[in-house]
Amino acid sequence: MRQTAIVPTRVENYAEWYQQVVRAADLAENSPVRGCMIIKPYGYQLWETIQRKLDAAFKATGHVNAYFPLFIPVRFLQKEAEHVQGFAKECAVVTHSRLQANEQGQLVPASPLEEPLIVRPTSETIIGEAFSRWIHSYRDLPLLINQWANVVRWEMRTRLFLRTSEFLWQEGHTAHATEKEAREETLRMLEVYRNIIEEDLAIPALVGEKIASERFPGAVATYTLEGMMQDRKALQLGTSHFLGQNFAKAMNIQFVDAHGQTQYAWTTSWGLTTRLIGAMVMVHSDDDGLILPPRVANTHAVLLPIIHEEAQRSNIERFCETLQQHLQAQASAYPLQIQFDRRDLRGGEKRWQAIKKGTCCLIEVGAKEVEQATVTVSWRDTLQKTTVPVDNFVSSFVDGLEQLQQRLATRAKAYRDQSMRRMKTSDELNQFFQSDRGFALAYWSEDPVVEAKLKEALKITVRCLPQDYEKERGKCLFTGKPNCPLAVFAKSY
């Protein structure tokens, strides 16, 4: 068995493998501030690409960006009873507006605030308060707002990208005149999310509605996109919430309808976070490090000159320069990033660095290649070297990237599908999570006692009631109750 670039491997220790892939690709690191991460340039570039795609999709569906305060007065949070319960347990509380030296010369908090503020864990209440002032008539609706922001939820056990006390996200907040429109918006944005997650990030998403215990605090319905990681645990990729009139009533968002009647608005909210970067790492990468789908990758190809004798250098470098220009000039749906690694390092060392950083295509150019007008190419997923005529390679390069994109999507989908199993009995489900794991599909009566037992015994939760099976009904595996929906159970992050 050849040595892998990442130690340990996925099989040896998946959680530690993940940390090492993130580290080897230089995506992010823990900071000295408990639970907060530093997103390093190579990781932040992925977020910029995801942002660009999402932002364009939001604008194409009529949304505009705005910015609301970082701080939320405690009295706002309290206006929605479930909401405050959900977020009061883990929030950063600002209590003072100054630091002052004490007698020992230590800086201590001074000038206490009249009312404590919390750093936003989400912005339904602070944005809802603005909506209550902005909306007067049905003519002001729908109001379709998005915010790009940082949020803080004081997490005890954190993991880079997947769960951190501070993270970056977008949060959409919309208000509508009717329940129907708000429900449509909730599902429209879920579909916008699904499209980017599946088409660009190449992650198959299991889409469905959350059960009551997993709903966003204050929501009437929460829809989720669930991904399957390579340890067969689920990761929630994003959520879209139909809030009914709960927040409209809490924050007094009213409008006069076409008949002159005053009504509460219907609102939605939806969010995607920097967690998506972690999801890409966990779904696509291998024991040699990061693998990225070309549509969001930072580096599409790296040119690695192999110079054995100094006399060859100028020819090889000239060849690489020309090749870089030609590749860069190919028409593509996204800007191509082609690197020429001129650093004074061993070829093998440069190759491994590019592999660990998820470069889509590695191109080696030595004296033989220059002489024969070929390149020795390996794509990141297989790493198999083939030598091909350079002209053919250049003209098929963009196709090659698209094929890599499709291979990654197909591979991830096959893995997900293999990890998903229909359960006939509760014993079968027990067995599945004792010997193996994945997405277990089972009819389910939504009995909270059963839910608690399964959580306790098998450490599994209901991830969602999947859309694809929403018309199916059957006998609950646990209670025997008839006419129950199909639910997906899994261990999860």
CB of 135 or CB of 465, closer to a second copy = 135
Place of tokens 């916008």: 192
Helix (H) or strand (E) holding 319: helix 313-328
Pick the piece of the chain touching a second copy (CB under 8 A) from 14-22, 86-94, 180-188, 234-242.
86-94
- Provide the minimum distance between the beta carbon of 130 and a second copy in the complex, in angstroms, as a whole number: 6
Q: Around Cβ 342, how many Cβ atoms within 10 Å?
A: 13
* Nearest CA-CA partner of 90 in 167, 152, 158, 163: 152
Strands 374-379 and 361-365, bridge-based pairing: antiparallel
- Provide the minimum distance between the beta carbon of 379 and a second copy in the complex, in angstroms, as a whole number: 26
Cβ-contact 247, 266 below 8 angstroms: no
CB of 312 or CB of 339, closer to a second copy = 339
Q: Around Cβ 307, how many Cβ atoms within 10 Å?
A: 16
Site map 130..169 versus a second copy, x via CB under 8 A: x--------------x---xx-x-x-----------x-x-
CB of 116 or CB of 400, closer to a second copy = 116
Place of tokens 């059960």: 211
Site size toward a second copy, by CB under 8 A: 59
> What SS3 class is residue 483?
coil
Q: Residues 9 to 38: which contact a second copy by CB under 8 A?
A: 29, 31-33, 36-38
- The answer to the question of residue 97 lying near a second copy (CB under 8 A) is yes
CB of 150 or CB of 195, closer to a second copy = 150
Cβ-contact 378, 393 below 8 angstroms: no
- Provide the minimum distance between the beta carbon of 165 and a second copy in the complex, in angstroms, as a whole number: 8
Give the whole-angstrom CA distance, residue 99 versus residue 149: 26
> What SS3 class is residue 161?
coil
For helices 390-418 and 275-284, angle between their N-to-C axes, nearest 10 degrees: 100
CB of 67 or CB of 103, closer to a second copy = 67
Bond into 142 cis (ω within 30): yes
- Provide the minimum distance between the beta carbon of 37 and a second copy in the complex, in angstroms, as a whole number: 8
- The answer to the question of residue 50 lying near a second copy (CB under 8 A) is no
Pick the piece of the chain touching a second copy (CB under 8 A) from 106-114, 211-219, 308-316, 479-487.
106-114
CB of 165 or CB of 374, closer to a second copy = 165
- Provide the minimum distance between the beta carbon of 163 and a second copy in the complex, in angstroms, as a whole number: 15
- The answer to the question of residue 171 lying near a second copy (CB under 8 A) is no
CB of 32 or CB of 260, closer to a second copy = 32
Give the whole-angstrom CA distance, residue 95 versus residue 262: 38
From candidates 72, 228, 412, 487, binder to a second copy by CB under 8 A: 72
Pick the piece of the chain touching a second copy (CB under 8 A) from 6-14, 76-84, 221-229, 314-322.
76-84
- The answer to the question of residue 352 lying near a second copy (CB under 8 A) is no
- The answer to the question of residue 66 lying near a second copy (CB under 8 A) is yes
Helix (H) or strand (E) holding 75: helix 74-77
Rounded to 10 degrees, the C-alpha dihedral 362/203/440/235 comes to 100
DSSP 243: -
DSSP 212: G
Residues in the site for a second copy, rule: CB under 8 A? 29, 31-33, 36-41, 44-45, 47-48, 64-74, 76-78, 84, 88-100, 107-109, 116-119, 126, 129-130, 145, 149-150, 152, 154, 166, 168
